[in-house]
Each structure stands twice: as C-alpha cells, then as structure tokens.
Structure 1
Amino acid sequence: MDYIVLDIEFNGRKFASELPMEVIEIGAVRLDSSLAPVGEFSSMIKPVYFSKLNSFLKKKTGIQQEEIDSADGFVAVSERFRAWLGPSENFLLLTWGGEDMKRIVFDTRMHKLDDAYWMGTDYFDLLKGYLRCKGLTNDVSVEAALAELAIDASGSAHRALDDARMTAEVFRAVFAGLDLSLKQRFKDTYSNAKERRLVKNAIRTIRSQKQEPTWALLAEKFLTGKVDMDNAKKLDELRGYFEAELNKKA
C-alpha cells in the first residue's frame, strides 16, 4: 500500500463572482508502506478564468504570473497526475480536509472530463484523523499540527508540494493513532453546514415546544425564507439529514 499525500492550490478571488474557482497547482508526495518518501509530483496549472492572479493570491502563495502563463491546462496536468499515480489501485490518497478532492472533481467536470476515476478513489481526511487522534474539536492548520508535534516546518505554506511534504510529516508522526478504515470517497453535497445546523436546531426548538418534529412543520416554520425551497436536491439532502437526526434520538 502506497500513501499519496495530496495538496492543491486554487485561484481564490477578492470579490464574489459567478465564475468558478480553479486548481492552479497540484503537489503530491508518495510514501511507501513503511512511510518512506519515494516520489513527488508537482505542476502548475493555467486557469481558464481569472487568468491574472490578484495581489492577495500572489502574496499568499508566492506564485508568480509567469509561472501560470507558461503552465499547461488542467486537462493535460490531470492526465499526467493520474499517470503518476499509476495503474494500480493499491494506494490511499491523504488530504488535509475535503476541499482538495472537491476542487479536483469540480475542475474535472468543468472541463467535461469523466469524473468516475476520482469519484471511485478512496481518500482519508487527515485533518479529521488528527483531530480524533488528539481529542480536539476545532480545526487546525497543518502548520499548527506540526508545532503541536514539535516538528520543524520547512518550505513555503500555501505552495502545493511544500504543503504536501509538511502534511506527510504529520501523517508519519501520528500514523499509529489513525484509524484508516475511516477512508471515504467524494460525495456531492448540496447543502452547507449552516443549513444543516438550522435543521438540527429546529428539531431541538420544536421538541422544546412539546411538539413532534415533522419535515413539513420544520420546512414551513424554519426553512422557508432561509433556504432555496426550489432546489430539490438540497431539500432531499436536508430531509435525509432531518431523518438521520431523528433516528439519533430514537
């Protein structure tokens, strides 16, 4: 079993826009079964939208405009990355949070490529694993985890390969305390954390009023005006969350 520690950078923007964010850099470190580093992948990606990097992103990442201008596009880079991963399925992707997989899947779809490979690839959210291992409840950065583990950070934060290297160090340090059976696959979500909290709090409020929570009551009294009621996928997902919360109390 190989472990592939993945990190991506994407082109954030200063102001809200209908145009999509895009992956602009992929970095990955391959660890073998003994957790020894045996390979690396690094590539810039030229975006379709927001091709000019804003000053905030340049300062945050250190990426220069010339690097973006001379880079290949997502289609070519993603093909090279998949080739580097190899034909074998005997690897586990490791990410710090779920955003990296989301961005790769979304860019794959944006470029009208088949997303089956990524949807069928197992990954382990090391951030969640680290929090469980340390008994923490609030998210922490890779840099904070390294400091907690007394590991000297090297490289530049917010550059994909350097971040992947640092994440690999965290993985190696806490490996014995991780439950890798909690791996997962990317799943589309249509609701956000705020909306799911709204459902959870609504159930609590309804019960405090000595009423039996029903989906119809919750939707009418707590979701209307706060959630897009015309979004069928969002409502189906929230209803599933509602039912799961009720089962927890059963």
Structure 2
Amino acid sequence: MKNYIVLDLEWNQSAGGKEDTIENFPFEIIEIGAVKLNESLEEVGEFRRLIKPKVYKELHEKILEVTHMDEKLLMEEGMDFVTAFEEFAEWWGEGAVFCTWGSMDLTELQRNLTYYGLTNPFKKPLLYYDVQKLYSLLHGDGKDRQSLDIAVFESGMMEERPFHRALDDAHYTGRIMQSMEFEKVKEYWSTDYYRLPESPEEEVYLVFPEYSKYISRPFPTKLDAIADKTVTDLLCCKCNRMLRKKIRWFSVNQKFYTALGCCPVHGNVKGKIRMRRSEDGQVYVVKTMKLVREDEIGEIYEKKEEARKKRVEKTKVRKQNKKKGALPLS
C-alpha cells in the first residue's frame, strides 16, 4: 500500500555566522513533523519530534523570530537526533512516497544522517514530490515558487494553526495536496541531488510530458564534464532519437550551456545543461531536453550571439594585457 509522507523540518544554524559553521553541515535539525496520507490523500497519521541541538546549541535569532520556538523547552524536552530519526523511519513504514514544500528538506535530512553516521535508508535516486512545484504547475507558470502561507491563503484553507512549525507546515502541505488536481501533475517527480550517481550505469534519465532530464555522475572539473559525450548528446525528449544539431553547445556564463537540435518527427528541441557542485566539490550535470516553438528559437540565437561577443571581448582584453606585459621597461 502506498503512503504519502508529507515532511517538514525546522533547523538551526550557527549563531556565529559562516566562520563557526561546520563544513557540509550548515543546518542542524531541531524538529521533525510529518503527516501520512493514504492513496486517496486522506490524512491517516501524524508524527512530531523535538530534537535537542548538539552542534549549534544557541538558536539563531532568525530561527527564533520565524518559529517562535521556546529555546528552554527545546533543550529540556528535545530528544537526540538519532533516536528521533529511528522513530520516524519506523513510523513511515512501507510504500512511503515523500512529499515536501520546496527542495531542501530531504537534502538537509540526509546531511544530518551523514553527520551522525547513520545509514541512509532512502532509495537512490531519491524521487519525491515537491508540492510547491506541483502547485506552481497547476496555479502558476511552473517556474515561480509561492510560499506555503500564501498558497494556503489562496486555496482558502487557513486554520488556527500557525506556520513555520514542522507538524503544522506538513499538515498545510498535505491539505494543499488534497485540494489540488493531483492526477494532472503526479508524473512530475523531483529528484534529490544529495547522493549522486557513482558510475555511468547509475546515471539518471527521467521522462516527463514536456521534457526529459539527465543527471550525471560527478566529474573533477567543468571541462571534464563538458568533454563527456553522454553529457553533450542531444536526444529528443519524446522519442530519445539522436538529434541533428542546429546550434552547438554554447555558454554565456560557464554555468549554463544551451544547444538546439531538430527531431524529424517532433521538431525543435532545446538542450540545457546546468553545472552544479557536489558535496565534495566536484562537478555534476543536470541536462534537460525540451520541445520549443518556432517563436522561441530566436531567443536562443540571440543568446548565442551574446556569448560570441563576450568571447571576442575576452580575447581582445587578453591580447591587450599580453601586449602590455611584453613592453620593455623604460
């Protein structure tokens, strides 16, 4: 039986700023809240645990301001993270499909698992529903992200419960799932990037109604990534056919690369590569392939021209600097 586990976390951070932040552990979880929905999206259970912080023991002023958490109560009644998570894992049971508002909760949960040396129980790749994204697909343009409180207000389901506490936010997120036309967007899984593919065989390929997504294994550098053929292949998001390139991969800022291909059956397909950093500082790629209309192609050519002009200007500056450096001293 499938259960939707709607999860929300509250976490603390270093009150002393970045200087006192532990590497790869920016947020320490201080509260776990979740509701369980059955296959009919009916709420059938809830879970809440307070967690006593061990690393960032002083609550950051922003955390106090947003959550209105009682710091004394947290220190007195909070349990240790290991026990709280073990109880949470036992509670969610079999057939769990995780749902969150936004993309951070599952990443930070896994960071906390790593810090405390716990076994990661989640499937790899970890697919979940980002309800914030689904809400945008149904009620917006699919790109802009609405805050939970505004979405709740827009949906007319405000209750006496406050926001910015884990169980309350999980409850509201579950209510939004119940109210939305979930069947229309249930194909739009999100992927957590905390644990990446470790080999070409583990690399992720996902197909959605309007686009496809590829997630690579990590590479030492951007150059290594962009030199990999699988990374730069242009494939149709509908039929997976290798495409004829109309515009080869180019970049304006070295973070995003764009290309344009043509499928003889489905037409023009835009490729977009995002370069991202893994936890250990390597580079991995998230590539999307999406059908584009004729009136969208001009924008791609404009970006290519912008990239060309930047490249010419950099070459010009480099030659000028080299020339200045070669001048004899008087």
TM tier, smaller: 0.7 to 0.9
| Residue number in structure 2 paired with 1:206 | none
Instruction: Say which is worse superposed, 20-29 or 10-19, in terms of deviation.
Output: 10-19
Q: Is the helix fraction higher in 1 or 2?
A: 1
The Cα shift of 1:106 comes to 0.4
- The one-letter amino acid of 1:4's match is I
| Residue number in structure 2 paired with 1:59 | 65
TM-score by length of 2: 0.57
- What secondary structure does 2:118 align onto? coil
Deviation digits for residues 194-226 of structure 1, max 9, x if unmatched? Answer: xx9xxxxxxxxxxxxxx97568x976xxxxxxx
Sequence identity of aligned pairs in percent?
25
CA contact 1:46–1:73 (8 Å) conserved in 2: yes
| Residue number in structure 1 paired with 2:81 | 74
1:12-161 pair list within 5 angstroms: 12-14=13-15, 15-16=17-18, 17-19=20-22, 20=25, 21-69=27-75, 70-86=77-93, 88=94, 90-117=95-122, 119=124, 121-136=126-141, 137-161=143-167
| Residue number in structure 1 paired with 2:186 | 180
Change in 2 beyond 3 A, CA 1:112/1:140: same
The Cα shift of 1:62 comes to 1.7
Higher relative contact order (CA 8 A, sep 6+): 1
Moved beyond 4 Å, runs of 4+: 118-121, 211-215, 230-235
Change in 2 beyond 3 A, CA 1:176/1:234: same
Uncovered stretches (5+) of structure 1, i.e. residues with no partner: 191-195, 197-210, 220-229
Query: Separation in 2 of the partners of 1:232 and 1:67?
Result: 34
Query: Separation in 2 of the partners of 1:35 and 1:11?
Result: 31
CA contact 1:30–1:37 (8 Å) conserved in 2: yes
TM-score by length of 1: 0.73
| Residue number in structure 1 paired with 2:265 | none
Query: Separation in 2 of the partners of 1:218 and 1:27?
Result: 40
Change in 2 beyond 3 A, CA 1:95/1:66: same
Uncovered stretches (5+) of structure 2, i.e. residues with no partner: 197-221, 223-246, 255-276, 293-299, 301-330
- The one-letter amino acid of 1:79's match is E
Deviation digits for residues 112-162 of structure 1, max 9, x if unmatched? Answer: 112243646542111111111113332111111111112224312110001
Change in 2 beyond 3 A, CA 1:148/1:244: closer
CA contact 2:110–2:194 (8 Å) conserved in 1: no
Query: Separation in 2 of the partners of 1:118 and 1:109?
Result: 15
Deviation digits for residues 161-216 of structure 1, max 9, x if unmatched? Answer: 011111111111104454222224422389xxxxx9xxxxxxxxxxxxxx97568x
Which of 1 and 2 has greater Rg? 2
Task: Provide the aligned length of Structure 1 versus Structure 2.
Answer: 215
- The one-letter amino acid of 1:187's match is Y
Q: Alignment RMSD, CA only?
A: 3.4
Change in 2 beyond 3 A, CA 1:212/1:166: closer
Query: Separation in 1 of the partners of 2:282 and 2:82?
Result: 33
Query: Separation in 2 of the partners of 1:121 and 1:22?
Result: 21
